[in-house]
Amino acid sequence: MGVGDLRRVVGAGLAAQCEPGRASPRAVVTILVDELSVWPGAKARCFNGGSCHLTYRAPSTEEDLHAFAAKLGLRRSWFQRHRVADHYDLTAGKREKALALGAVFETGREQIVRRRAARASATPT
């Protein structure tokens, strides 16, 4: 399929839009969800059925994550800056919707290992 014919690329994640005749700066946007964890006694009733994280993998950006979150109906004010990975918390229902929209499942452990490896390779020796 040529770039001119490309209207939507659906790969391992969120669809990336391209204009006919122009190459996309990033062909694939990858939005991730991890495993659902149940937290007994969760303060927010909506999380009594469990929660997970919605985050992204490079070359995706924080803006890609916010755009995907908006498709899920999440408020931008729910975005959380975290030292390990900036993310949104998802309920079980929103997790299923995210997967249906193209988010990719990757365990929290796999995400941590990948991020540590990326940091190690970026550190000058």
Range with the lowest mean pLDDT among 35-39, 54-58, 73-77? 35-39
In a domain, 89, yes or no: yes
C-beta atoms surrounding 84 within 10 Å = 12
Q: Could you tell me whether strands 88-91 and 51-57 are parallel, antiparallel, or unpaired per DSSP bridges?
A: antiparallel
| Count of structural domains within the chain | 1
Q: Is 7 within the bounds of a domain?
A: no
Residue 8 included in any domain: no
Residue listed under structure tokens 């927010």: 44
The per-residue pLDDT for 82 is: 87
In this prediction, residue 123 has a pLDDT band, given cuts at 50, 70 and 90, of confident
In a domain, 85, yes or no: yes
pLDDT at 49: 72
User: Could you tell me the residue range of the domain that residue 78 belongs to?
Assistant: 27-122
Residues forming a β-bridge with 111: none
Rounded to an integer, what distance in angstroms lies between the CA atom of residue 1 and that of residue 69?
29
Q: What is the pLDDT of residues 59-113, one digit of tens each?
A: 889 999 999 999 999 999 999 998 888 999 999 999 999 999 999 999 999 999 9
How many other C-beta atoms can be found within 10 angstroms of the C-beta atom of residue 120?
9
Look up the pTM and report it. 0.69
